[in-house]
């Protein structure tokens, strides 16, 4: 009878260790989504960003990840339709990217934007208008 408490302790400790060993942080999603999340999370953890959306396009596959919140102190998480206020440097980057796509024949600068983006836009607005800031769009999207 003296061994019974010892056996119970060993079994209890073994069970506890098995449960403890199975406790792991949640795994990241497999493939590109997990890689994006692993690369993006440190930026949110550093506290310099409130929210972040990252996208990756490979061939016909689009992978994206969103984290944090849209506004500091808010509870709304960013998503696929979140509109971010971006600095002016993106205008140069976007125009250079469009020029490269135009030279490779993937886009036509004179084509209406609605040919590439299915949602409603002013009729007659072209990629060239956007690149040269002559489309007459408001500075801020409401």
Q: What is the pLDDT along the chain (142 residues), one digit of tens a residue?
A: 455 566 666 667 666 666 666 665 555 556 788 888 888 888 888 988 888 888 888 888 888 899 999 888 888 999 988 887 766 667 788 788 888 999 999 989 998 888 888 776 778 888 888 888 787 777 665 5
- Specify whether the CB–CB gap between 78 and 53 falls below 8 A: yes
Give the helix/strand (H/E) hosting 6: helix 3-22
pLDDT of residue 137: 72
pLDDT of residue 103: 94
- Specify whether the CB–CB gap between 57 and 47 falls below 8 A: no
Task: Tell me the pTM.
Answer: 0.47
Residue 27's SS3 state is coil
Pick the closest to residue 112 from 102, 123, 101 (CA basis).
123
**Rounded distance between C-alpha atoms, residue 115 and residue 113, angstroms:** 5
First CA to last CA across the chain, in angstroms? Answer: 78
DSSP string, 78-100: P-TT------THHHHHHHHHHHH
| Non-local CB neighbours of 5 within 8 Å, separated by 6+ positions | none
């Amino acid at each position: 009878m003296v061994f019974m408490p010892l056996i119970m302790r060993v079994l209890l400790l073994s069970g506890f260790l098995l449960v403890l060993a199975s406790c792991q942080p949640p795994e990241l999603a497999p493939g590109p989504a997990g890689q994006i999340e692993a690369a993006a999370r440190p930026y949110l953890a550093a506290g310099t960003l409130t929210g972040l959306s990252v996208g990756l396009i490979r061939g016909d596959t689009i992978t994206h990840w969103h984290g944090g919140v849209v506004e500091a102190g808010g509870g709304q998480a960013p998503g696929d339709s979140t509109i971010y206020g971006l600095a002016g440097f993106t205008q140069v980057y976007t125009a250079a990217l469009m020029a490269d796509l135009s030279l490779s024949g993937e886009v036509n600068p004179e084509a209406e934007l609605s040919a590439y983006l299915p949602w409603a836009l002013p009729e007659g607005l072209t990629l060239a208008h956007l690149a040269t800031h002559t489309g007459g769009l408001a500075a801020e999207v409401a």
